[in-house]
Amino acid sequence: MQGTDQQAYDRGTTIFSPDGRLYQVEYAREAVGQGAPVVGVRGADSVVLAAHAPDRSPLSADGDTEKVSSVDDHVAVAGAGHAADTRQLVDLARRRAQQERVRYGERVPVAELGTAVADHLQEYTQTGGARPYGTALLVAGHDGDPALVEIDPSGATRSWRADAVGSGAGDAIETFEDGYGPALGDRDAIALALDGLDAAVEDLNVADVDATLVTDEGTERVGEDRLRSAHGSAS
């Protein structure tokens, strides 16, 4: 009987277990933990997102492994977990940003955009016949001040100075705790983000990093030469 009860809680996306757990949400977090790591670092005037995006094959086309996506000219998003789930949430964020511009002629506030995406994620923890999204997002933006928000598969959000999701996230966060300072310039923020990825990934190759810098002037993809310069002699 105990095994049967366990399976019931296991399969029901909307059923709490007796100890108050939603197993499908926990499984979604496990999927996030299996994904390639993504890190974010908030500097004094900018935010950098960096993701490990190695080519699966030498036959893959250039640009096929892009993991950091621009949502608007002041917001970028990256996710760890199921790539298709991340893509759907990026599209949702882009639509929300476009609606703000069409209705009000203004850029959507970063916190408001994060809440809109988080609300959508939360709906899938209490909707029958659907599963939670198997991805966690880092949202980096600048709307007067730099902002970095994590969105969990449960729909929970939290703002961070530096954060990581995906495999090796704990090691990256330890690196950030040791090296973070509130007055980081752009180059130092990029360097710290790469240090975090280096801690999360064995034998990190800068050529396998997809990074975007978000400032008040917009989003800018960080080229490989700039990454190598910030990361020193590491490759």
Q: What is the pLDDT of residue 215?
A: 96
The reported pTM is 0.90
Residues 6+ apart with CB under 8 A from 57: none
Number of H helices, E strands in the chain: 7, 10
> Chunked in runs of 10, what are the mean pLDDT values of the chain (235 residues)?
55 75 91 96 97 80 76 97 96 97 95 97 88 96 96 97 97 97 94 97 93 96 94 57
Domain layout of the chain by residue ranges: 27-230
| CA gap 183, 178 in Å, rounded | 15
Residue the block writes with tokens 């490759």: 235
Residue the block writes with tokens 């004094």: 44
| CA gap 34, 202 in Å, rounded | 15
Would you tell me which CATH number, out of the four given (1.20.120.790, 3.90.45.10, 3.60.20.10, 3.30.70.60), belongs to the domain 27-230?
A: 3.60.20.10
